Structure 1
Amino acid sequence: MKINKKRLLPLGIGLFVFAMVGLLADKAWSEKQQQLDLITDFYRDHLARPDKRQPSQVPPGFFTPELEALIDANNQLCYSLSRSDDICGYGADSDVFLDAQEASPSLDFERSSFRISRVGDNVVEATFNVYPDMGTAYDRQIRYVLVQEDEGWRVDDMLFSQNRSMRVELLQENDAILARARDLGDTAGWVFNYLRNGDMLDRAVRFIAFPVQVCDQYGVCAAMKRDDPRLMQALDYLSDNKSDTDVLPPPAEAQAADGKVIAIGALDFTFQNRAWWVTRIDLRRLQGIKPASGLPPTV
């Protein structure tokens, strides 16, 4: 039997092309399934945890490096610049992954009616209910924008209802923290509020840059560290001798600039390290006020 080589060549090419198409189809299906598995496995773990977790507590490798950098920046800004009693931190007062502040205590993966689907190129949508016994009003829908890294698929953004984006919200919160730190009125307001309440003096310490220069009412000055007991004595003296000298300068004069110093009452506020800090406490500025209690000399 003779083999027609002229016919074998096209047949071989056809089989090769068919095989390649099959391989590409398998690869595409595998990648799509990996996307679904990434989010499904995450929620299986998340809904099995007794306590909610913030994005910063998610193990490395779930988010892209760019999104992780935004989350890390948010943590650092809260740690270094958020000194008031306000809650700080993306997702600190809610569960970002459930898009809810509260959820049913008995919520788990099965009861949540979790569903996952692809809704676009590299975008998957997770739907679930955070209070299964209370109807569809507690349905949630979160879309995950995915990017393929060398190690696999990673989350590059989370899209919530009302066109909200995790990336955008992180940027907005980080900008808001920096803006508040640059606002002398906000900083001074918190400091003097704490000084007016004797049981909150330790909170005023959050706004002090150490070592801080402290001058007693006799003109003796010393640089003090955070744990120096004389510092709390000075703050206690300020608290007892309440004055009306905590008046802010005009806004034009209170603009933040590196190294700028503004005196308000007995305190010097200096803008440094991206925020206003108390850098000097001078009790001599209270000379016009009858002392309510004496302060031991600083030396």
Structure 2
Amino acid sequence: MGLAMRINENDFVRVVLALGAIGLASVALTAYTSQCMEYEQQMELVRHFYIDYLSVPEGLQRSSASTFYSHELIQLKTARRQLCEKLSRHGDSCDYEHGEALIAAPKVSSGFTFDKAGLMAIHSGNNAVDVLLQPRSENENTNHIGLRYLLVKQADGWRVDNVLYRKWGVFSADSNMRREIKRQNENMLKRATPRVEGKVVALDALSYTFQDQGWITKIDLSKAALSKARHENQ
């Protein structure tokens, strides 16, 4: 009787261990499948980014920037455009390319593929996708040309939140799209010569006031306009 009970206990332990192993394997498989799906979604976003830019003829409407860029990056890019339009000097161009972060690749009128454009996409982990320009011959070395797209997941899906550029052959956090846009904004503000002290430049959610020399939010533009009118009448 005692021997039979020990055998049954051993069998029970084996069953429990087997079920536990199956459960862990199932969880691991689910996590792996989910990760693979996210990797593919991220790769698809970057591919579509290039398809939209390279395969759409000049002059035709491309997809909205909100399809590719994060909310924060769109706000930063919008601030740059509006600053340029309001503060640019004669001869300055505010025509920023929709695909400004794209590396130089030949246009493909139809049937666009990365290979046709000489491009190669690699998922580098940590929600990042690298796009490199492939050498066109064995003697051509273009490994230094490339971009790393840093992605963030929003309610409407994955979006490009920043772009790293290569510096000395490696992607550098010091050389990126956000920093470059901020530098351009600061340069435009430094050389601006507002006629009215306290002039406000409206930038949607952000605004810049020359009186305080800083960025402000939720400004009452009606009061700013009234203050400006009073100043001009003095």
TM-score category (smaller protein): 0.5 to 0.7
1:1-299 alignment, distance < 5 Å = 4-51=11-58, 58-88=64-94, 90-91=96-97, 96-100=100-104, 104=106, 108-109=112-113, 110-128=115-133, 136=141, 140-162=145-167, 163=172, 164-182=175-193
SS in 1 for 2:182: helix
The Cα shift of 1:257 comes to 5.0
Q: Partners in 2 of 1:97 and 1:52 — Cα distance? A: 19
The Cα shift of 1:148 comes to 1.8
Cα deviation 1:60-88 (Å, max 9, x = unaligned) = 13111111110111121122222422223
**Residues 152 and 158 of structure 2 are in contact (CA less than 8 Å); yes or no, is this contact kept in structure 1?**
yes
TM-score (norm 2): 0.63
**Residues 108 and 117 of structure 2 are in contact (CA less than 8 Å); yes or no, is this contact kept in structure 1?**
no
**Residues 74 and 90 of structure 1 are in contact (CA less than 8 Å); yes or no, is this contact kept in structure 2?**
no
The Cα shift of 1:5 comes to 3.8
Gaps of 5+ in 1: 185-255, 259-271, 274-278, 281-299
SS in 1 for 2:162: strand
Q: Partners in 2 of 1:74 and 1:118 — Cα distance? A: 30
% same residue:
26
TM-score (norm 1): 0.51
Relative contact order (alpha carbons < 8 A, sep ≥ 6): 1 or 2 greater?
Answer: 2
User: How well do the aligned residues superpose, as a CA RMSD in angstroms?
Assistant: 3.7
Task: Count matched residues.
Answer: 183
SS in 1 for 2:68: coil
49 and 136 in structure 1: CA distance in 2 versus 1, 3 angstrom threshold? farther
Cα deviation 1:171-220 (Å, max 9, x = unaligned) = 01111111121388xxxxxxxxxxxxxxxxxxxxxxxxxxxxxxxxxxxx
**Residues 157 and 165 of structure 1 are in contact (CA less than 8 Å); yes or no, is this contact kept in structure 2?**
yes
Q: Partners in 1 of 2:67 and 2:107 — Cα distance? A: 29
* Runs of 4+ with >4 A deviation: 89-92, 103-108, 135-139
155 and 124 in structure 1: CA distance in 2 versus 1, 3 angstrom threshold? same
The Cα shift of 1:105 comes to 5.5
Q: Partners in 2 of 1:52 and 1:119 — Cα distance? A: 34
Cα deviation 1:21-79 (Å, max 9, x = unaligned) = 111111112212221121112212221022289xx974313111111110111121122
33 and 168 in structure 1: CA distance in 2 versus 1, 3 angstrom threshold? same
**Residues 124 and 143 of structure 1 are in contact (CA less than 8 Å); yes or no, is this contact kept in structure 2?**
yes
Q: Partners in 1 of 2:86 and 2:106 — Cα distance? A: 34
Q: Partners in 1 of 2:59 and 2:39 — Cα distance? A: 28
Gaps of 5+ in 2: 1-6, 196-209, 213-223, 226-230
**Residues 45 and 158 of structure 2 are in contact (CA less than 8 Å); yes or no, is this contact kept in structure 1?**
yes
The Cα shift of 1:150 comes to 2.6
**Residues 120 and 132 of structure 2 are in contact (CA less than 8 Å); yes or no, is this contact kept in structure 1?**
yes
